[in-house]
Structure 1
Amino acid sequence: MRFYNSTLGLQSLLLCAFLLFSCSKSVKKEKKEQTQTVKYPSEVIPFMDQWSILLGDGTRTDQLIDFEKKNFFYVRNDGSSNWVVYKTPNSGITSRTSSNTRSELGQTKHWIPETGGKLTGTLKVMHVSTSGDARVAAAYSVVVGQIHSDEGHENEPLKIFYKKFPGHEKGSVFWNYEINTEGDNSMRWDYSSAVWGYDMSVVGSDPGTYPEEPEDGVALGEEFSYEVNVYQGVMYLTFSSEGHKTVKFTKNLLKSDFATKEDIPEQILTLYASIGRDGVERDTAYAGEIQYFKQGAYNQTNGKDPEKNIVSNSGSETYDGDIAKQYANGCYAEVWFKDATLGEGSDPEK
């Protein structure tokens, strides 16, 4: 009788163990299947029918439903959420008006500041180039959201940046306003405003010496969100991140703050001194000019000679444009978005 009971107990234990093992395998399989069912960025952020895209290898398309491109535009899961990945090298095929590569969405519907629009995004920057010249304002940075003009000088009333110097744990988030120049556009410049960390004008003293790490900066992989709300010609910006103070800005897009030489900020006279950009903006700024939103990873690091433009030519390693080598050696930008919306501008007081 004892033998029978012992055998029965052992059988029961083995049965329980088998059931637990099977259940565990089933749960893991179910989670894996749930992760694998999401294949395309349009399944994560469903506004892809309102955009076109340009990728760092020159791929262009406005058919983004059920579209992905390995190593440039695809979906990753971090264990809790699905993310749309935008990845682009320091050197590849660029747009007509830029020296920098991008894997970036461009809004197909255009608008003017008077009618406006709204763009939001929740993201984390996973990588910026680790090669470059520390004296260059644009080095080690990526633009994660824009407003871009589609006429006139095709300037940019908004670029949202993330920048992190090599060896630093924390980077900076800042935004730039590019003046819509009156006359010769070669005299244009960007005015930079810090959100967390530094603005664009804080640079190294020589090619390999970096400023102190920002105390209130944002680390790679740390989430933050932005809202760009253009309503009746005024741009309202809101930036938020857990553990950081929410920061807001207001900028009139119909009336210039920089219409005379006396209006040029000291930041500009210092940062752009070596390349002689001291133009003024037309009094009406971007009034009546066609605009559109952009979102993704617009890499600001390139391989151009810093001695010819110490603001924008970052002197990065590009491996003669070999994208695989750039990815393998840290010469790229990578940005993940888990949420984003696109819509009409709204009254910020309501």
Structure 2
Amino acid sequence: MINIKKQRNLIFGLSLILLNSCKKDVKSSSINIIPNVKDSIKTKYANAIIPFFDDWKLILGDGSNVGIANNYENKDFFYTTNDGKVDWVVFKTPNGGDTHGTSNNTRTELAQIKKWYPKTANDKLSATLKVMQVSATGDARVAASHAVVVGQIHSADKHENEPLKIFYKKYPGHSKGSVFWHYEINTAGNNNSGRWDFSTAVWGDDFSVVGSKANTFPEEPKEGIALGEEFSYLIEVKDGIMHLTFTSDAHETKTFTKNLIQSEYTTKADIPEQTQKLFVPIGQDGVERETAYAGEGCFFKLGAYNQTNGKSPKVNKNWCSGAETHNGDITKQYADGNFTEVWFKTASITVSNAAVSNEGYFTKND
């Protein structure tokens, strides 16, 4: 009897050892699985989608300069998403908040870390994008209301004016908006207050088409672009000439050229009719220096530069929208559509050997 009891105890003991061993194996297997799940949901950064961030500094919608934005995201302003088909880089910024430099407008935007000179340039910027949101509010009589700039050429020197701004603009209630581009004169003399823009339509209307009353919108543009509809631009500057190409699957390809080193606006008689209606009545009636942007360092910008702000239209009826800003509260602005959001699928930049450091621009404006 004693031997049988000992045998039973031995068998029971061995069973416990085997059972505990199995539990340890199961627990060990679970520990190995968890890190693999975490690895599979790691953040996809913007530079994994568009690998060109070494050429830029990133400015956020709170006015801060992030610097080179490799392996970086900020869920309020700059991050990545997937629309079910492809990955996109998202640039988002509210109507009101801290701004960069002397601008009245917020931006989440890349600024090129080198500058080039139009006369000796051989530089390019291209992008494919879709605008997902423009401000829900703004005075319809103000040309900048409900608009965002998605690409630029900016001067780093003297007046720091802009020989190119590419806009998207859509009024509330419209199915489609407009794409147009601006040339801003490089004002002659030391006083830049007389500067003005000339707007050229790509698809839809130009900047000058505005509402008759604060809440009365113009007719919806023909051949316009809807929110969420892709389009592309290519900017090339070579030997003083800017070449622009705009493409979209559902629209006619459009091309333009502009001389950046020889002005066509050197006298009052040269001021175009569009400017006479928009800018001259508010005192912006300057002329351009003969050599335009020759001798000035210029650089590209790309992203979401919100053109809608909370300043009163009484200050400037072209640029001050009187839009809702909730006193700069970003959460409230994002909740009720008072922001702009632009998604970029692809982009590329070509920087010429003649380009030099643009650090002076950031030193002045950060």
Instruction: Specify which of 69, 72, 79 is matched with residue 67 of structure 1.
Output: 72
Residues in 1 aligned to 2:183 and 2:68: alpha-carbon distance in whole angstroms: 31
* Alignment of 1:124 onto 2:130: yes
1:35, CA displacement in angstroms? 8.8
* Alignment of 1:77 onto 2:82: yes
Instruction: Specify which of 225, 244, 261 is matched with residue 254 of structure 1.
Output: 261
CA distances 1:71-111 after superposition (whole Å, capped 9, x unpaired): 20000000111000000000111012200000000000111
Cα gap change, 1:185/1:72 in structure 2, threshold over 3 Å: closer, same or farther? same
The runs of at least 4 aligned residues of structure 1 exceeding 6 Å deviation read 32-35
Match of 1:109 in 2: 114
Matches within 5 A, 1:1-350: 36=41, 39-116=44-121, 117-183=123-189, 184-344=191-351
CA distances 1:10-40 after superposition (whole Å, capped 9, x unpaired): xxxxxxxxxxxxxxxxxxxxxx999945611
Residues in 1 aligned to 2:44 and 2:125: alpha-carbon distance in whole angstroms: 24
SS of 1:267 mapped into structure 2 = helix
SS of 2:47 mapped into structure 1 = helix
1:57, CA displacement in angstroms? 1.8
Residues in 1 aligned to 2:347 and 2:258: alpha-carbon distance in whole angstroms: 22
Q: Aligned residues, how many?
A: 315
Residues in 2 aligned to 1:89 and 1:302: alpha-carbon distance in whole angstroms: 9
One-letter amino acid of the counterpart of residue 254, structure 2: V
Residues in 2 aligned to 1:86 and 1:274: alpha-carbon distance in whole angstroms: 35
What TM-score comes out, normalization by structure 2 length? 0.84
1:149, CA displacement in angstroms? 0.3
Bigger CA radius of gyration:
2
Cα gap change, 1:33/1:266 in structure 2, threshold over 3 Å: closer, same or farther? farther
CA distances 1:279-311 after superposition (whole Å, capped 9, x unpaired): 100000000100110000000000000012100
Cα gap change, 1:289/1:209 in structure 2, threshold over 3 Å: closer, same or farther? same
Q: Is the 8 A contact 1:38 1:44 kept in 2?
A: no
- Quote the RMSD (CA, aligned, Å): 1.6
Residues in 2 aligned to 1:231 and 1:250: alpha-carbon distance in whole angstroms: 11
CA distances 1:147-170 after superposition (whole Å, capped 9, x unpaired): 000001000000000000010000
Residues in 1 aligned to 2:286 and 2:280: alpha-carbon distance in whole angstroms: 12
Residues in 2 aligned to 1:282 and 1:83: alpha-carbon distance in whole angstroms: 41
Residues in 2 aligned to 1:194 and 1:175: alpha-carbon distance in whole angstroms: 7
1:70, CA displacement in angstroms? 0.8
**Structure 2 spans left out of the alignment, 5+ residues:** 1-36, 353-366
Residues in 2 aligned to 1:132 and 1:94: alpha-carbon distance in whole angstroms: 18
Residue identity over aligned pairs, in percent, reads 60
